[in-house]
């Protein structure tokens, strides 16, 4: 019941938030106004006579079909008539029901299903946008609607978007419907993407979808009421149909160009505070962890606060499970935390191309070097963010580059990540000799505190142990907001692209904008864009990055050269060869905005920019 209430309230809040605005015209017109009674009679059946142009062969009878089409007994060519004026009072409910159904299914099982089928994660969204455009054209051009229906003539009710049925429209809307990602939706997405779908996940998702749908349904019903009460609407039923078609097409095109996201950045999120009040309490956090994520092993982890200055007690450490392979262990054998009782353990969640992890790893390596002989066991749980980070060879190479010699587990299915209910790269879980989690630190920083607590636990486990001096690894953690956000070149995460052409999968020609905004990137030349990286298809392809940071690194793979120029100064060439890894593009950069131009040679795959 708590999950249902949180889901409903979270959905209701989201349903009145700014991110809903782009879909409201479609709901108003297709779900509301199209179900209004216009006061016109249904189109009469047509009779054979002189009033019908053209000749009908002998023995052929003519009748009006259910889709408003004249047919001959010999199944001659059909001629679309004016659309039927019958209305369904259920249409607003059908549109919203379709939206709830498809949103729930796509959110819960879409990611897992597409991964199993090895399909791009955004294919459902693109298919749904195409469907919206086709339905929109059908609303504007009745003949086209009939063409769309013809392949489904064997079905008893084949008019998907007639005034009698809006469920199909709702299905397409739900597949492209992306509400604001608050804590409730984030919990649903994590559960769905990791395959941890239990009864709690389903309850939360359905209740959230219903919560969002309630304001939309009121808006649809308001649209119907307005269309019935205002004479101008009643007299222009055909105009409403065309307007609905245009709204569907504009929504699909806007989604393709990420217009809703850009509009949302211009509007203050007046619901953020209410969302935070709903979920910022211990009961809500525990409920949102969802049945599949909270279990007897990890239920006490909430007793630890992030980066606490003193040791805490947060229950027995969850097990390390679902690991695909290990390395840096004798014979690459697996490690069981039970076998390490009596010694102190530091579990470090990381990913080798993550810039935050790259700044954290020197501290972890330093602790391993300093305290291994005193009883510290460091275990690196490599939980991938990119698909290429699942490759064992890539992870081994990354670990070698960082000087990691402690055991590493490949958590490719995020099983251990989920068992620890982890949400961050990096994340440190410090476990005492009794197997109890005593300290948790999320993200970068707080290294001095973590090391102090490591020393305390080592002394508790082995009184009288001689510990070396504390490590003095420099803390390079940047202040929050002091750098440009991590910038991805793959089409699945192109959040700060600012070129003149649409950023889309496949081959294309791109050009720099005349006035590129701060903290954005743009492409020039011929490129092929994949979901996770971009690669040139011709010489002289370039990336321009406007940024603020003291250091810029770029994740690259393949074989070739990149030429780097900072602020139109001197250029330098970097050789790229092998699996994806991070290359330094610029260092010791002064404060303020700067421009980095990178000419990428053919054969090189460019994944992302990270900043320090």
SS3 534: strand
**Burial class of 37 by CB neighbour count within 10 A (0 to 12, 13 to 18, 19+):** middle
pLDDT of residue 242: 84
**Mean pLDDT confidence for 423-433:** 88
What are the CA-CA distances from residue 6 to residues 10, 104, 107, 203, 439 (Å)?
Answer: 6, 16, 17, 10, 29
SS3 308: coil
Element (H, E) at 536: strand 534-536
For 462, the token pair is: 């082995």
What whole-number distance in Å separates Cα of residue 408 and Cα of residue 248? 50
For 264, the token pair is: 């949302």
Asked if pLDDT for residue 380 goes beyond 90, the answer is: yes
What whole-number distance in Å separates Cα of residue 328 and Cα of residue 417? 20
- Give me the residues paired with residue 565 across strands: 571, 597
Phi, psi of 232 (to 5 degrees): -60, -35
Neighbours of 469 (CB within 10 A): 6
Phi, psi of 345 (to 5 degrees): -125, 135
Q: Are strands 534-536 and 521-529 parallel, antiparallel or unpaired?
A: antiparallel
Asked if pLDDT for residue 554 goes beyond 70, the answer is: yes
291-295 — which CB contacts under 8 Å span 24+ positions?
Answer: 291/198, 291/199, 291/200, 291/201, 292/191, 292/196, 292/197, 292/198, 292/200, 292/201, 292/418, 293/190, 293/191, 293/196, 293/418, 293/421, 294/421, 295/419
What whole-number distance in Å separates Cα of residue 235 and Cα of residue 38? 7
**Which pLDDT tens digit goes with each residue over 196-214?**
566 767 787 788 888 888 8
Rounded percentage of the chain residues whose pLDDT exceeds 70: 72
For 40, the token pair is: 């016109």
What DSSP state is assigned to residue 149? H
Half-sphere exposure of 164 (CA within 13 A, CB side): 12
**Sequence-separated (6 or more) residues with CB below 8 Å from residue 556:** 562, 576, 580, 581, 583, 604, 605, 606, 607
Write the Ramachandran bin of 41: left for phi over 0, alpha for psi from -120 to 50, otherwise beta: beta
Place of tokens 């199209």: 34
Band of pLDDT at residue 71, cut at 50, 70 and 90? very low
How high does pLDDT run on average in the chain? 76
Neighbours of 282 (CB within 10 A): 9
* DSSP states along 324-378: -EEESSGGG----GGGGTTSEEEEEEE-TT-HHHHHHHHHHHHHHHHHTTTTEEE
**Which pLDDT tens digit goes with each residue over 478-492?**
555 567 877 888 876
| Sign of the C-alpha dihedral computed for residues 150, 151, 155 and 160 taken in this order | negative
Contact 136, 252 (CB under 8 A): yes
- Give me the residues paired with residue 381 across strands: 349, 409
Asked if pLDDT for residue 408 goes beyond 90, the answer is: yes
- Give me the residues paired with residue 523 across strands: 543
For 130, the token pair is: 């195409």
Half-sphere exposure of 286 (CA within 13 A, CB side): 12
> In terms of pTM, does the model score above 0.75?
no
What whole-number distance in Å separates Cα of residue 19 and Cα of residue 261? 8
**Which pLDDT tens digit goes with each residue over 595-604?**
999 999 888 9
Place of tokens 């990354």: 398
pLDDT of residue 83: 42
- Give me the residues paired with residue 574 across strands: 562
Alpha helices in 118-236 (DSSP H): 123-140, 142-149, 167-176, 183-194, 199-229, 231-234
**Sequence-separated (6 or more) residues with CB below 8 Å from residue 472:** none
**Which pLDDT tens digit goes with each residue over 306-329?**
888 889 898 999 999 889 899 999
SS3 277: helix
**Which pLDDT tens digit goes with each residue over 332-352?**
999 999 999 999 999 999 988
* DSSP states along 458-478: HHHHSTT--PPPPP-----PP
Rounded percentage of the chain residues whose pLDDT exceeds 90: 16
- Using alpha carbons only, how large is the chain's radius of gyration in Å? 30
Asked if pLDDT for residue 354 goes beyond 80, the answer is: no
What whole-number distance in Å separates Cα of residue 237 and Cα of residue 139? 12
**Which pLDDT tens digit goes with each residue over 250-296?**
888 877 776 765 565 556 556 666 765 666 555 565 556 544 466 77
What whole-number distance in Å separates Cα of residue 48 and Cα of residue 27? 40
Asked if pLDDT for residue 122 goes beyond 50, the answer is: yes
Place of tokens 């009006």: 64
**Burial class of 505 by CB neighbour count within 10 A (0 to 12, 13 to 18, 19+):** middle
pLDDT of residue 306: 80
**Mean pLDDT confidence for 242-252:** 83
**Sequence-separated (6 or more) residues with CB below 8 Å from residue 278:** 6, 9, 10, 13, 183, 184, 284
**Which pLDDT tens digit goes with each residue over 137-159?**
877 887 776 666 555 454 444 44
């Amino acid at each position: 019941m708590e999950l249902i209430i949180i889901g409903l309230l979270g959905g209701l809040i989201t349903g009145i938030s700014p991110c809903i605005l782009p879909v409201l015209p479609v709901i108003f017109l297709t779900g509301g106004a199209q179900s209004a009674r216009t006061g016109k009679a249904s189109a009469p059946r047509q009779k054979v006579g002189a009033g019908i142009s053209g000749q009908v062969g002998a023995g052929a009878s003519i009748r009006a079909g259910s889709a408003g089409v004249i047919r001959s007994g010999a199944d001659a060519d059909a001629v679309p008539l004016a659309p039927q004026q019958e209305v369904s009072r259920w249409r607003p409910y059908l549109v919203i029901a379709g939206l709830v159904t498809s949103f729930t299914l796509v959110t819960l099982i879409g990611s897992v299903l597409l991964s199993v089928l090895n399909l791009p994660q955004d294919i459902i969204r693109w298919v749904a946008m195409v469907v919206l455009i086709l339905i929109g054209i059908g609303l504007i051009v009745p003949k086209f609607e009939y063409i769309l229906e013809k392949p489904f003539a064997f079905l008893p009710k084949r008019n998907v978007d007639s005034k009698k049925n809006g469920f199909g429209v709702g299905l397409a809307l739900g597949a492209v419907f992306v509400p604001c990602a608050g804590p409730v939706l984030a919990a649903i997405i994590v559960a769905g993407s990791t395959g941890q779908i239990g009864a709690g996940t389903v309850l939360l998702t359905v209740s959230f979808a219903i919560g969002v749908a309630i304001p939309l349904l009121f808006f649809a019903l308001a649209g119907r009421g307005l269309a019935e009460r205002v004479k101008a609407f009643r007299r222009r039923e055909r105009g409403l149909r065309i307007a609905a078609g245009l709204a569907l097409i504009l929504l699909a095109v806007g989604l393709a160009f990420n217009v809703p996201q850009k509009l949302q950045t211009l509007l203050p999120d007046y619901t953020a505070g209410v969302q935070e009040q709903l979920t910022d309490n211990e009961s809500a956090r525990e409920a949102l962890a969802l049945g599949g994520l909270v279990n007897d092993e990890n239920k006490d982890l909430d007793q630890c606060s992030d980066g606490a200055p003193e040791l805490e007690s947060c229950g027995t450490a969850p097990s390390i499970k679902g690991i695909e392979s290990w390395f840096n262990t004798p014979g690459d054998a697996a490690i069981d935390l039970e076998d390490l009782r009596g010694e102190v353990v530091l579990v470090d969640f990381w990913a080798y191309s993550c810039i935050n992890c790259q700044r954290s790893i020197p501290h972890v390596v330093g602790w391993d070097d300093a305290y291994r002989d005193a009883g510290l066991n460091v275990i690196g749980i490599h939980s991938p963010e990119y698909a290429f980070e699942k490759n064992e060879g890539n992870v081994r190479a990354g670990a070698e580059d960082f000087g990691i010699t402690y055991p590493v587990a490949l958590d490719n299915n995020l099983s251990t990540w989920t068992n620890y209910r982890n949400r961050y790269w990096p994340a440190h879980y410090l476990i005492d000799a009794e197997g109890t989690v005593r300290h948790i630190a999320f993200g970068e920083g707080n290294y001095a505190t973590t090391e102090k607590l490591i020393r305390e636990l080592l002394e508790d486990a082995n009184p009288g142990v001689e510990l070396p001096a504390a490590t003095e690894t420099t803390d390079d953690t940047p202040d929050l907001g002091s750098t440009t956000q991590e910038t991805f070149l793959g089409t699945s995460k192109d959040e700060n692209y600012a070129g003149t052409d649409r950023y889309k999968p496949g081959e294309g020609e791109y050009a720099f904008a005349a006035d590129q905004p701060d903290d954005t990137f743009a492409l020039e030349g011929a490129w092929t864009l994949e979901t996770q990286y971009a690669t040139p298809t011709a010489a002289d392809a370039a990336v321009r990055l406007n940024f603020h940071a003291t250091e810029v690194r770029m994740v690259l793979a393949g074989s070739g050269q990149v030429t780097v120029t900072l602020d139109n100064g001197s250029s330098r060439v970097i050789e790229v060869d092998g699996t994806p890894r991070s290359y330094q593009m610029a260092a010791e950069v002064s404060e303020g905005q700067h421009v980095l131009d990178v000419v990428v040679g053919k054969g090189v795959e460019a994944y992302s920019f990270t900043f320090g």
